Each structure stands twice: as structure tokens, then as C-alpha cells.
Chain A
Amino acid sequence: AQSVTQPDIHITVSEGASLELRCNYSYGATPYLFWYVQSPGQGLQLLLKYFSGDTLVQGIKGFEAEFKRSQSSFNLRKPSVHWSDAAEYFCAVGGGKLIFGQGTELSVKP
């Protein structure tokens, strides 16, 4: 079955610290992978996507993600978190029909 797992429901990091949000997927074919961010009461904004090629992809707002086929993972990273990064982050897989993980809520300490 196709699925996405985000093991961390809630993460708190200090402003300026590095961030890694985990995502594992189960998908029968070559996965198309996405990270979205959702601020309270808002829709989803695409941070970055992986379709093929270079396994390290760069996105907006200084985020990057690395696709590791052997680990079925697509973890999101940012070297230095800003207070404005506090939001809900969703990993998704698929094309056309997207399958989302449960989300990871990020809190940022001053």
C-alpha cells in the first residue's frame, strides 16, 4: 500500500539551530516526492519537490531535502531556523493524487 510516515508529530528547535524533519514513504513505482508547509488557517505551500535526477533538491526559504531510495526517505533540512518557520510541515508522495503524511508541527524557541 502507498503511504507516507512522518515519525515526529511535534518538534521544537531554537532559533538559529539546524532542522531535520523525517519522512519515510512506501510507493510501488518511482516516487515523486514533495514537502509542503501550512501556516495556521492557511492552505499548503510547496517548499520543494523531487521527480528525478540529483537526489539533493533545493527549495524555497532555504530548505533542502535529500532523497534516499535505499532508505525510502525524503528528509527535509534547514541549516538555520528562523522564528517564521514555525508551521506544520507535510511530506507527500504521488502524482495527480497526492498521499500525505500526518504532518510535523514545528515550534521555534527564541
Chain B
Amino acid sequence: ETGVTQSPTHLIKTRGQQVTLRCSSQSGHNTVSWYQQALGQGPQFIFQYYREEENGRGNFPPRFSGLQFPNYSSELNVNALELDDSALYLCASSLGNWELEQYFGPGTRLTVT
């Protein structure tokens, strides 16, 4: 059974640019959630996708957007990058939209300069 994978591992972008982060969910999981973890903080919920539809969103501006594909993999897109967007971005997958157990990937470290 393959776990949750994320790409790339690390990324450096310049303020104002756009970035796309990718996540492959665990086999059989149809729900993907994205979290932002700033340095020294706990993860914060960005949004969740269930069967290709957004299914809940945290307190993040519209320049954070996402997609989920028919194979349940997902993308997180961030436009107009700001310095404060520098963080570890974590993807988690689960069996259903209210499934309580989420399995996390290793994360993508984004640095905005």
C-alpha cells in the first residue's frame, strides 16, 4: 500500500510568483486535505477536497486554490506569493469526507524570497 506522497520536496519562489504543489493520496482514499505549517506553529487547515469538490475551507484568502483529479490526487495553487506564505505545506488523505483518521504526507517546504 502506497502512502501519501507530495512533490516537490522543497521549492524556492519569489514574492509575486505563483506555485503549484502536488499530492497523491493513499490508495483507496477519496478525500484530500491541505494544511499550512509555519515555522514553530501547528498545522492550519487550508481546505479539503472530496470527490473532486471543495468540501470545507479554512481562513485563507482566495489566492489559495486547489483541485482534485478523478484519481483523487490533488494540487494546491498559490497565486501572488507573499513572504508569509513560506511554510511547510502538508497534504493528508482519508477514506471519506468525514473520516476521522487522516494520513499525512511528508510535506513540501516552500520558501518565498
Interface residues of A (CB under 8 A from B): 4, 32, 36, 41-46, 49, 51, 90, 92, 95-103
Contact = CB atoms under 8 A, between A and B. Distances in A.
Nearest to B105: A43
Contacts of B100: 32, 49, 51, 95-96
A110 to B, nearest CB: 26
A102 B37 CA distance: 10
Interface of A is mostly: strand
7 contacts: A42-B106, A51-B100, A90-B43, A96-B55, A96-B97, A98-B43, A98-B92
Interface of B: 4, 33, 35, 40-45, 48, 55-56, 58, 90, 92, 97-107, 109
Given A96-B33, A96-B56, 15 more contacts: A36-B104, A43-B90, A43-B104, A43-B105, A44-B90, A46-B103, A49-B100, A96-B97, A97-B58, A98-B33, A98-B43, A98-B102, A100-B43, A103-B41, A103-B42
